[in-house]
Amino acid sequence: MKNPSLLIVVLIAILLGSCAKWKNKERIAAPVWSDDSSEIAYILNKYDYRRNYPDGGDVKNEEYSVYLTDTELTGNFEVSEVLEGNAEDLFYMKEAGYLISGSFSEEYHLTNAETGELLLTFSPNDSGICGDKIGNFQSINVIPSFDGSMLAVLETRSDCTIDIAFWEEENGQWMPQNTFDVPGNDFDGVAWIDADRLLVSACEEFCSEKFYLVHASYGVSEIDRTDNFSDPCLFVQTSSSWVDSTGQALFVDENRELAKASIWDDEELTASYPDFNEEYYQPGCNEFE
């Protein structure tokens, strides 16, 4: 009989050796409809992965590109430059001619939708972290208005406030116009409710505790309401979203392929909102005058 201890040692060596190899991986993320629902965009994240038994795995060389396809998912066209990092958020403003992509904990990129040229990168300006914030990173988010004429750039700050800057294009260059701030160590929900105003859900002691309306020109007003008004207002952030105005939702299926279906087919999702209706997936919100 062979020495069982020797066999165990050999098996462990084989296992560890196989785990130590770097492998190329790719993953589809953040499929969205264009603002006019005529095309679909999605992110293809690429990276090198090495399993690190028994602690999990290591990742390096993260990069991504944005791809376009038609509404029947029958073609794929790489539209952006290869960008560094990992992206989980995407907006396709076809009418205005640009894409916004990025990650809540890293940075966002503004890309020309026709040429793929990188036009602008939005990164956190404050290196310090609010002492009350969960996570050792600044949160950043860039959300285009319904028609793409404005960008709302939100960023957490070391003084435990949230900056909201509104950018507009002037003579071919995007420039900040007005900047406001609200109290909070983070934010867990942001959406345009009309052409000029954002709804922001801020985190202080708890998240979804304080809500603010932020007008691009006139500033901040706190919302003093106790009813559950926010769910339909924050369900989609703007006119480019993972679900279109007819209720067709985009997702990555169990085979890691891009797919679409009626949002009403997701019974678990719709049941999680007791009053779920078609107003949820329309851009904007009628709760405020």
Q: Cα angle at 93 between 68 and 275, to 5 degrees? A: 100
As a whole-number percent, the residues of the chain with pLDDT over 90 amount to 73
Residue type, 237: Q
Q: For residue 104, is pLDDT > 80? A: yes
Picking from 54-58, 106-110, 142-146, which range would have the lowest pLDDT averaged per residue? 54-58
Task: Give the mean model confidence (pLDDT) for residues 74-86.
Answer: 91
Confidence of residue 86 (pLDDT cuts 50, 70, 90): very high
Q: For residue 18, is pLDDT > 60? A: no
Of 286 and 39, more confident: 39
Q: For residue 220, is pLDDT > 70? A: yes
Average pLDDT over all residues of the chain: 90
User: What pLDDT, on a 0 to 100 scale, did the predictor assign at position 208?
Assistant: 82
User: What pLDDT, on a 0 to 100 scale, did the predictor assign at position 2?
Assistant: 54
User: What pLDDT, on a 0 to 100 scale, did the predictor assign at position 288?
Assistant: 83
pLDDT digits 0-9 by tens, 222-245? 998 767 789 999 999 999 999 999
Burial class (CB in 10 A: 0-12, 13-18, 19+), 151: buried
User: What pLDDT, on a 0 to 100 scale, did the predictor assign at position 178?
Assistant: 98
**Could you tell me where the beta strands, DSSP code E, fall in 96-160?**
98-102, 108-112, 118-122, 140-144, 150-156
- Sketch the domain layout of the chain as residue ranges: 23-281
Determine the Cα–Cα distance for residues 183 and 5; give it in Å rounded to an integer. Answer: 61
Please choose, from the candidates 145, 81, 74, the residue with its C-alpha nearest in 3D space to the C-alpha of residue 109. Answer: 81
Total-model pTM: 0.89
User: What pLDDT, on a 0 to 100 scale, did the predictor assign at position 8?
Assistant: 58
* Residue with the two structure tokens 């950043």: 140
Query: Six-digit token pair at 138?
Result: 């600044």
Of 125 and 213, more confident: 213
Q: DSSP label at 164?
A: E
Query: Six-digit token pair at 252?
Result: 């990555």
User: What pLDDT, on a 0 to 100 scale, did the predictor assign at position 251?
Assistant: 97
**Whether CATH 2.40.128.630 fits 23-281:** yes
As a whole-number percent, the residues of the chain with pLDDT over 70 amount to 93
Q: For residue 7, is pLDDT > 80? A: no
Of the ranges 40-54, 124-138, 257-271, which is most confident? Answer: 257-271
